[in-house]
Amino acid sequence: MPIQATQYIWFNGKLVPWEKATVHVLSHALHYGSSVFEGVRAYATPKGVAIFRLADHTRRLFDSAKIYRINVPFTPEQLNAAQREVVAVNGLKNGAYLRPVAFRGYGEIGVAPKIDPPVDVAVAAWEWGKYLGADSEAEGVDVCISSWQRVAPNTLPAMAKAAGNYLSSQLISMEAKRLGFVEGIGLAPDGTVSEGAGENLFLVRDGVIHTPGFAHSVLGGITRDTVIKLARDMGYEVRETSIPREMLYIADELFFTGTAAEITPIRSVDRITVGAGRRGPITEKLQKAFFGLFTGATPDKYNWLDPVDMSATPRAVSA
């Protein structure tokens, strides 16, 4: 989806004009993928704008950095404050998508430099709609199983949300789009179901909800965890398990989850209709509970909403 530019980006502790947030072409991350990032959403709620599960996203960013030995030169509290700040100073009162990123910058070239390049950190925020299409939330999407597998756990760590890992996702998604599908699903190296190119996957069969476990090359999704908690609170059995490919074809319901995708129904896999070929009843109930967190219809019992003081004004901006 196109990026809608805002006024400011938080870059290495300072607010800079959007167009000035640039990096050197010899930055390490540009050549070797040494970058970790997050996708975070802020929502408009009856009590004002709030960032959803801010602390959990920031914790995952630091976990990813730890796995890849990227030393983030800021504290989690500083990055939480930075995310609130970019929403406020850009006046994103209707909600926003946020992109915090930490990456090895300019200083030394080579796969594993003798002296670590400096680590740069940025946070951007802008308005963003439905990742998989304007009608996807209600109508569902058509997907295929990709010829490209997800990476094995002992090659690239799936639990890290790292730039280099997403080359696999690009292959999966580009292949799907070339074949006329909205998204692709990657299988784990053992042939079982893993996840979408940028989404976790859930399956409903006979009233039981299934999702691939962490051993199947899946990212520990924040929305995935949210849906598991909401579903169990609603009385559903949720199994984190191994799912063979053919179960996708005979599922009663399928849906993607993710910060960008939110909860998106899947209506067909490899042109085989899923269930009735539309959003299923359990998927719809979970969507209602999820989006109810932002309307007040679902109690925020886990304190997932982090309020943003929208009256904040820009501090000194670097030229």
Q: What is the tens place of the pLDDT at every residue in 214-251?
A: 999 999 999 999 999 999 999 999 999 999 999 999 99
The span from the CA of 151 to the CA of 154, in Å, is 8
How do residues 99-155 score in pLDDT, each as one tens digit? 999 999 999 889 987 777 899 999 999 998 766 666 889 899 999 999 999 988 889
Using pLDDT thresholds of 50, 70 and 90, give the confidence band for residue 311. Answer: confident
**Strand pairing report for 95-104 and 40-45:** antiparallel
Structure tokens at 215: 């051993």
Instruction: Give the per-residue pLDDT at 316.
Output: 57
Give me the pLDDT at residue 304, please.
99
Q: What mean pLDDT, rounded, does the chain reach?
A: 95
Q: Which residues are catalytic?
A: 161
pLDDT of residue 131: 66
Enter the pTM of the model: 0.94
77 and 210 share a domain? Answer: no
Total of domains in the chain: 2
Domain boundary among 263, 279, 295: 279
Per-residue pLDDT tens over the stretch 197-219: 999 999 999 999 999 999 999 99
Report residue 107 CA to chain centroid gap: 30
Which range of residues forms the domain containing residue 54? 8-126
Q: Is residue 224 part of a domain?
A: yes
Please give the angle made by the CA atoms of 203, 206 and 211, to the nearest 5 degrees.
25
- Residue 315 falls inside a structural domain: no
